Amino acid sequence: MTSLLNWGAGDAGGQRITDVYLDREPRLVILFTAAMEEASLHFIADPSVRRSALCPGSGCPLCGLGGAPQLTALLPLYDVESAQVKVLKISSARGPASLRSVLVRHLANPNIANLAVLLRKESNYSYVAEARPLAATAGRGEEAIRAFMLERQEGLELCEALWRPSASELCELPTIRAKLDAIGGLPSSTSDAVPF
Ligand SMILES: [Zn+2]
Instruction: Please report the pLDDT score of residue 12 as a whole number.
Output: 36
**112 Cα: distance to centroid of ligand 1 (angstroms):** 35
In angstroms, rounded to a whole number, what is the distance separating the alpha carbons of residues 119 and 30?
10
58 with 139: CB under 8 angstroms?
A: no
- Cα(175) to centroid(ligand 1), Å: 15
In the DSSP assignment, the letter for residue 125 is: T
C-alpha of residue 44 to centroid of ligand 1, in Å: 10
Å from CA of 59 to ligand 1 middle: 8
pLDDT in tens, 12-51: 345 789 999 999 999 999 999 999 999 999 999 988 889 9
Angle 178-68-34 from CA coordinates, rounded to 5°: 130
CA 41–ligand 1 middle distance (angstroms):
7
- Give 75 Cα–ligand 1 centroid separation in angstroms: 21
Residue 142 one-letter amino acid: E
| pLDDT in the model for residue 14 | 54
Rounded to the nearest whole angstrom, what is the distance from the C-alpha of residue 156 to the centroid of ligand 1? 23
Q: CA-to-CA distance for 74 and 4, rounded, in angstroms?
A: 9
Ligand 1: centre distance to CA 70 (Å) = 9
Q: How confident is the model at residue 2 (pLDDT cuts 50, 70, 90)?
A: low
From 159, 189, 163, 192, select the one nearest 61 (Cα to Cα): 189
196, pLDDT greater than 70: no
Distance 68 CA to ligand 1 centre (A): 6
Distance CA 54, CA 35 (A): 19
Q: How much distance in Å is there from the Cα of 130 to the middle of ligand 1?
A: 35
Using 50, 70 and 90 to split pLDDT, how confident is the model at 10?
very low
Q: What percent of the chain has pLDDT over 70?
A: 89
Q: Has residue 159 got a pLDDT over 50?
A: yes
Going from the Cα of 62 to the center of ligand 1, the distance in angstroms, rounded, reads: 5
Position 11 pLDDT exceeds 50: no
Cα 143 to Cα 186: distance, rounded to the nearest angstrom: 49
pLDDT band per the 50, 70, 90 thresholds, residue 3: low
Q: Which residues contact 137 (CB under 8 A, 6 or more apart)?
A: none
Complete domains list, the chain, with CATH: 2-183 (3.90.198)
pLDDT tens readout for residues 44-82? 998 888 999 999 999 999 999 999 999 999 999 999 999
